[in-house]
A and B are shown apart, each in its own frame.
Chain A
């Protein structure tokens, strides 16, 4: 995977406001479209292709208080070689960890293509002063993070202070410079499609390279419906501003079938440009094992027990 380019430019606030005010979404029609895309029947070669794509788009993630050096080492090894018995299975895109563990992950990925992503800005709540968010992010970057996943200020967003949400992302992007910035909207907190669209456009305009659905720390994680709102925002942003941004879906995507449905949606709505880890990612921990099992099933006709696949 080639190095990800960051666009690094933010859009004038007045233009942002104009876009945000055009957020009209009909939820009945949206649900109908998303549900109808879920009826695509992906079989045989196209399924294998999809499964390999999913692996290559995974941000293998552990974000727990109990994470240790040992746990990170295990996960990185799995990220580089998801299935040691099948070399045709690609590496994942990145591993995603807390800032204090970045240096360990960075040391372990060494010569592989796997990137190290860190969640920062006081993930998952983001309820700290801006100075702390900047410090958190700077620490992760200084430790060698290739990618930074931040959370938007939902407090400010729900209070209607869109300008604050935007300013914070702009400031964090300044710290990031060329480091790839993914902005988490936490769609489970935003609830409505209009909110998701507004937050998407604000984040994109503030210079995010990716927008991301969720932290994975709420009971409501990603959904194909939220992803659809986000992808339409990304497309409208591209058509107005001329910048292609990416999408990361995370939180609650546990099986290959669901992941394939996301790919179908990306394929039919956005086109093949987005079928790449440079513009689409899955944040996941348990998804990878199901995908590996499905690949095995397609190749051999048999399901294998979990213990055939190495622990991550």
Chain B
């Protein structure tokens, strides 16, 4: 019997050169922030300083919005076909430089290279290709010609899929003829700034894409700017509510993609081994930093013990460590703040009476890490069953009948996604019909395609991203 350990297989970080300091990208130029202030961005897997990026203030945002307005003059006069060609060019350039982007994404955000390489980057390129295709076919998208772009769109994106969320936001906005001011998350600004180089390389007219970095205060300046015509936000429900309050009474469009606490329902007649895989993928993908993560496992009582046994065994084979190691399954938690939040909620779960299982893996000394975690013996009233943990923590609940499964699944303020596992087709349809969730996956989880609309029910937000529906988020009826 041999204990076979895999040797390190590190993706070289040399492919990407990280500058000591970055600037904003406004009006087609890389400009120093008028605030003269910067914030640090670190690698969450080592806590080492990667770079400094602008902490933009009111003057910076004014100048970004102004240039987006000027950009709109040029962008709106191009033919749809010309806009389409720019987007195709961006898509191709991203594909060409995808290794560089993947490494930078893993360094700055902590996600495993196998995910940034095999999921994030292919999806980013696919989104630009997809919306490039729509740009000159908008007349075919809805049976009306009275839809017009909003104009200048402010976009604020989260840290879990930094470049992919940028693609979800920028590609449809540009395809529909808007110009944008985009703010990446405070902890993961680097790939957005590298994307600015792509815009330059593609020869995109000045002002069409403006990228400004900063913290929450910068985001709030964008939201409250008088010349912004629409806000698209992805992030926490708490911030989403604040944004909606700020925009009340103003003629500004809004789409929100917020939190989730998705139920992954496993019926006793599911293909159990594949359901285990799907549940693992549903919660441990991207360290569980996924708004549509399958964070509540709903197990039919008759299979509970067998399923949990298989699940724990499978979790034990998850490899936690250096995000740049090609064999890493789970990387670093994105920030100290997030790690503290996860730790706090897990402690609460234990105090409430949940039974805790964590895998026995060695964690690196520096950086932010959390072991893959499973709670059993959880009641629907526990905070770990209600609050979004946004980490590698799975909570198990049980049910007796399909009716009860649906009731528990819908017993949440969120409604972003859900999963159903059974080999019986009619049961899939019966369940999916009754789930209040924007996306319902059947016998799979966390599958995305640019052509498929994504968005929430209830406090998970409104508006759809992706697909033909995603175009509507950037078009409004003109009188």
Question: What is A's interface to B at a CB cutoff of 8 Å?
Answer: 24-26, 28-30, 32-33, 39-47, 49-50, 53, 232, 239, 263, 267-269, 272-273, 275-276
Task: Quote the shortest CB–CB distance from B56 to chain A (angstroms).
Answer: 39
In the complex, the answer to whether A28 meets B6 with C-beta atoms within 8 Å is no
In order of increasing CB-CB distance, the 4 nearest A-B pairs are A29-B274, A41-B9, A26-B271, A41-B326
**Residues 166-195 of chain B, each 1 if its beta carbon lies under 8 Å from chain A, else 0:** 000000000000000000000000000000
Chain B, range 115-155, C-beta contacts under 8 Å to A: 118
Instruction: Confirm or deny: B62 has a beta carbon within 8 angstroms of a beta carbon on chain A.
Output: no
Considering the complex, give the chain B residue whose CB is closest to the CB of A32: B277
Residues of B within 8 A of A26 (CB): 271, 274-275, 423, 443
CA distance A50 to B5 in the complex (A): 10
Instruction: Confirm or deny: B73 has a beta carbon within 8 angstroms of a beta carbon on chain A.
Output: no
In the complex, the answer to whether A30 meets B274 with C-beta atoms within 8 Å is yes
In the complex, the answer to whether A276 meets B7 with C-beta atoms within 8 Å is no
Q: Which of A33, A39, A232, A276 is in CB contact (< 8 Å) with B114?
A: A39
In the complex, the answer to whether A46 meets B7 with C-beta atoms within 8 Å is yes
CA distance A29 to B266 in the complex (A): 14
Task: Quote the shortest CB–CB distance from A93 to chain B (angstroms).
Answer: 14
Residues of B within 8 A of A33 (CB): 274, 277
Instruction: Confirm or deny: B273 has a beta carbon within 8 angstroms of a beta carbon on chain A.
Output: yes
In the complex, the answer to whether A49 meets B423 with C-beta atoms within 8 Å is no
In the complex, the answer to whether A272 meets B277 with C-beta atoms within 8 Å is no
In the complex, the answer to whether B273 meets A232 with C-beta atoms within 8 Å is yes
In the complex, the answer to whether B327 meets A40 with C-beta atoms within 8 Å is yes
Chain B, range 1-31, C-beta contacts under 8 Å to A: 1-9
In the complex, the answer to whether A29 meets B278 with C-beta atoms within 8 Å is yes
**Residues 321-333 of chain B, each 1 if its beta carbon lies under 8 Å from chain A, else 0:** 0000011000000
Residues of B within 8 A of A263 (CB): 4
- Taking A26-B423, A272-B1 as given, write out 4 further A-B residue pairs in contact, using a Cβ cutoff of 8 Å, ordered by the A residue number: A41-B326, A239-B309, A275-B1, A276-B1
Task: Quote the shortest CB–CB distance from B117 to chain A (angstroms).
Answer: 9
CA distance A49 to B269 in the complex (A): 41
Known: A33-B274, A33-B277, A40-B327. A28 touches B4 (CB 8 A): no
In the complex, the answer to whether A29 meets B3 with C-beta atoms within 8 Å is no
Task: Quote the shortest CB–CB distance from B127 to chain A (angstroms).
Answer: 22
Q: Which of B2, B7, B275 is in CB contact (< 8 Å) with A272?
A: B2
In the complex, the answer to whether A272 meets B3 with C-beta atoms within 8 Å is yes
In the complex, the answer to whether A43 meets B9 with C-beta atoms within 8 Å is yes
Residues of A within 8 A of B408 (CB): none
Instruction: Confirm or deny: B317 has a beta carbon within 8 angstroms of a beta carbon on chain A.
Output: yes
Residues of A within 8 A of B7 (CB): 42-47
In the complex, the answer to whether A272 meets B4 with C-beta atoms within 8 Å is yes
Residues of B within 8 A of A267 (CB): 4
- 17 A-B pairs within 8 Å (CB atoms) are namely A24-B271, A24-B423, A25-B273, A29-B271, A29-B274, A29-B444, A30-B274, A33-B274, A40-B327, A42-B9, A43-B7, A46-B4, A267-B4, A272-B2, A272-B4, A273-B1, A276-B2
Residues of A within 8 A of B317 (CB): 268-269
Residues of A within 8 A of B114 (CB): 39
Residues of A within 8 A of B270 (CB): 24
Residues of B within 8 A of A239 (CB): 309
Instruction: Confirm or deny: B272 has a beta carbon within 8 angstroms of a beta carbon on chain A.
Output: yes
Considering the complex, give the chain A residue whose CB is closest to the CB of B421: A26
CA distance A26 to B423 in the complex (A): 8
In the complex, the answer to whether B277 meets A29 with C-beta atoms within 8 Å is yes
Residues of B within 8 A of A272 (CB): 1-4
Residues of A within 8 A of B4 (CB): 46, 49-50, 53, 263, 267, 272, 275
Residues of A within 8 A of B277 (CB): 29, 32-33
CA distance A32 to B326 in the complex (A): 18
Residues of A within 8 A of B6 (CB): 40-42, 46
Residues of B within 8 A of A42 (CB): 6-7, 9
Considering the complex, give the chain A residue whose CB is closest to the CB of B2: A275
CA distance A271 to B383 in the complex (A): 35
Residues of A within 8 A of B1 (CB): 272-273, 275-276
CA distance A50 to B7 in the complex (A): 11
Task: Quote the shortest CB–CB distance from B396 to chain A (angstroms).
Answer: 20
In the complex, the answer to whether A46 meets B444 with C-beta atoms within 8 Å is no
Chain B, range 363-402, C-beta contacts under 8 Å to A: none
CA distance A285 to B8 in the complex (A): 31
CA distance A269 to B274 in the complex (A): 13
Residues of B within 8 A of A268 (CB): 317
Considering the complex, give the chain A residue whose CB is closest to the CB of B309: A239
Considering the complex, give the chain A residue whose CB is closest to the CB of B270: A24
Q: Which of A24, A41, A47, A53 is in CB contact (< 8 Å) with B2?
A: A53
